[in-house]
Amino acid sequence: MNFEKLVQKAKKEYYSIFRGEPPAILIGSATCGISAGSNEIKKVIEDEITRENIEARIIPVGCIGSCYAEPLIGIFKDNKEGIFYGPVNKKIVKEIIKKNIIEDEVAEENILGTIQVKETGNTGSFFESDFMRLQSRQILRRCGLINPEDINHYLATGGYTGLLKALEMGADEIIDTIKRSGLRGRGGAGFPTWLKWDLCRQSNSKEKYIICNADEGDPGAFMNRSLLEGDPHSVIEGILIGAHTIKAKKAYIYCRAEYPAALEKLEKAIKDLDKIGLLDIEIVIKRGAGAFVCGEETALIASIEGRRGMPRTRPPFPTTKGLWGKPTVINNVETFAAVSLIFQEGVEQFSSIGTGSSKGTKTFSLVGDVKRTGLIEVPLGTTLKRVIFDIGGGIKNGGNLKAVQIGGPSGGCLPASMMDTEIDYDSLTSAGAIMGSGGLVVLSDDSCMVEIARYFLEFTQRESCGKCVPCRLGTQQMLLILNDIVQGNGSPEDIETLHEVAEAVKAASLCGLGQTAPNPVLTTLKYFREEYVEHVMNGRCPAAYCRELMHYFIDEKLCTGCMVCSKVCPADAIVGLEDEVHFIDQEKCLKCGSCMDVCKEGAILKVPGPGKSIE
């Protein structure tokens, strides 16, 4: 069958879902949806359909981004606008099936918004909600709206038309197209994609490779996982365009083993692509084995070759000497998806979004103390304020914003006063942070910035490959100092030492891991120095976060002796008889806050200081 006919057939099949004849039920079934309980929801829906003897299709889809509203379902029936509901539970979902499908009324419970999918694009009020309105869903345009395991859904929505366009072009024209788009690498460093491809293409070698870096190891980031689970073909299409450009016959996708669902969907996608005859190179999936440093391109290459994932000095760059010494292009998952976007939708659409030096959009995982957590995509140049307050809905539980941690362990912490910073490669770098691959952790007043710096250092110290001395010993030294400080054993000189070591590690490390590992320390020292001072001078954690420098305290005026707190205490640390004032045994206390969560009287307080002397 020729491509045109294939697409015709796929469109007929795909758009029939949204006509809802028979009714179609979309279920967000990415890892996040499943962890929120979507498998149980699916089971309930299946049972209801059988019990009520109705005809309906269940379509598993990826994450549409609003993780805060998971589990999430969408219902399409009788050519009407579809309705998305979330969060749903077993009870609500039964109600929704009854009302929306059987009685043909709108169920009032937990409506997220209506949605209408036409062949021209997506419209409808869900996309006009506060969460969606200010986003620009380009890379993620299919996520949550297609079944990632059905190649027809991809074909119906313009899939592989970009590849066909690219195949008609020569390599010159492809590279020129990417150059005009202004695309920079989405893995974090922001190197111009066209230049990387061009350097590799110019290399004189018969054997060349293309590698997709899907080793998303940043804690707090799941953009690549969501994209691979929601729209794997878009990444594969970009890889094929790249292979065609540099004339590679073999491609590798290096994906974390911790992402089993993403790996499964990639395997299925490659098989399906082969079936329809569009796969003209060999694509090998390599499972990562859990090493953050393998996100570094030279380390990743070493890992594919079957060695320890240790980086090496550059030059030579992988574009001249990469996998098995052959010219190699390595790009991030999102970069490849951006390439297929550019070729499917055109350069103009891509480059009309963004700022002068940072074109297009960027996906972020918005997490932490923000009301609406999830996966978002915004035009480059959007301010942090807009992301956190307008899209994310501000800080949870009425707290105040303290800082934003951006760029993973190698990024930095920007204080609330800098929320007018625009998210683009250059603004973030000048603020002391980096774009990174896109983890955005929002921190409220409840977080201690010294402890956050310690946390990241613990991570980078553990993940340092140990090859170069500044990184191996420097990160360890910084961690030891930070451990002392958060435990109340720090001294005033520690702050200066920390600063010196951080500068040295930054200047002298071999690879990106070491060069950026001090960023959390340097940015917190710059913007939150007074918190360090308070820890070392007064033995207090102002946020009452560091476990050694805070304690829980029962206010005897408010305690009614109801015993609720003592029942939930996992450490049996709360003592006191019924109807009498309770006390917390500070030696036994885990400091988990379970008691505070359940106390109806508000009698339990979190207090800075070790609490050894308070009665």
Partner 1 sequence: MQKLREILESYQGKREDIIPILQDIQGKYGYLPENALRELSKFTGVSESQIYGIATFYAQFRFTPKGKKHVMVCTGTACHVKGSDQIIDAIQRHLKIKEGDTTPDNEYSLEAVGCIGCCSLAPCAMINEKVISRIKPRQIKRLLPQKS
Binding residues (CB under 8 A) for partner 1: these are: 31-32, 34-36, 67-68, 70, 216-222, 225, 257-259, 286-292, 303-309, 365-369, 373-374, 405, 408, 439, 441, 443, 447, 452, 455-456, 459, 465, 547, 568-571, 590-594, 597
Radius of gyration (C-alpha) of the chain in whole angstroms:
26
Nearer to partner 1, 18 or 259 (CB): 259
User: Least Å distance between CB 323 and partner 1?
Assistant: 10
Nearer to partner 1, 184 or 454 (CB): 454
As a dihedral over the C-alpha atoms of residue 281, residue 285, residue 286, residue 287, rounded to 10 degrees, the angle is: 170
Distance of CA 355 to the CA centre of its chain: 23
With the C-alpha atoms ordered 187, 188, 194, 195, is the resulting torsion angle positive or negative? Answer: negative
**Contact 342/130 with Cβ under 8 angstroms?**
no
Nearer to partner 1, 590 or 614 (CB): 590
User: Least Å distance between CB 220 and partner 1?
Assistant: 3
Nearer to partner 1, 306 or 602 (CB): 306
User: Least Å distance between CB 206 and partner 1?
Assistant: 20
User: Least Å distance between CB 465 and partner 1?
Assistant: 8
User: Least Å distance between CB 36 and partner 1?
Assistant: 6
User: Least Å distance between CB 30 and partner 1?
Assistant: 9
The C-alpha atoms of residue 42 and residue 590 are separated, in whole angstroms, by: 38
Nearer to partner 1, 77 or 467 (CB): 467
- Per DSSP, 417 falls in state G
With the C-alpha atoms ordered 408, 411, 417, 420, is the resulting torsion angle positive or negative? Answer: negative
User: Least Å distance between CB 32 and partner 1?
Assistant: 6
Structure-token pair, residue 432? 């002391």
Residue written as token pair 């910073």: 421
User: Least Å distance between CB 592 and partner 1?
Assistant: 4
Decide: helix, strand or coil at residue 225: helix
User: Least Å distance between CB 209 and partner 1?
Assistant: 12
- Per DSSP, 194 falls in state H
Nearer to partner 1, 225 or 506 (CB): 225
Nearer to partner 1, 44 or 117 (CB): 44
The C-alpha atoms of residue 356 and residue 394 are separated, in whole angstroms, by: 29
Nearer to partner 1, 36 or 338 (CB): 36
Pick from 25, 562, 135: which is nearest to 364 by CA?
Answer: 135
Nearer to partner 1, 159 or 232 (CB): 232
Structure-token pair, residue 180? 């005009």
Spell out the long-range contacts of 318-326 with Cβ–Cβ below 8 A and sequence spacing 24 or more: 319/196, 319/199, 319/200, 319/203, 320/199, 320/200, 320/203, 322/209, 322/211, 323/209, 323/211, 323/252, 324/207, 324/209, 326/205, 326/207, 326/208, 326/209
The C-alpha atoms of residue 311 and residue 320 are separated, in whole angstroms, by: 16
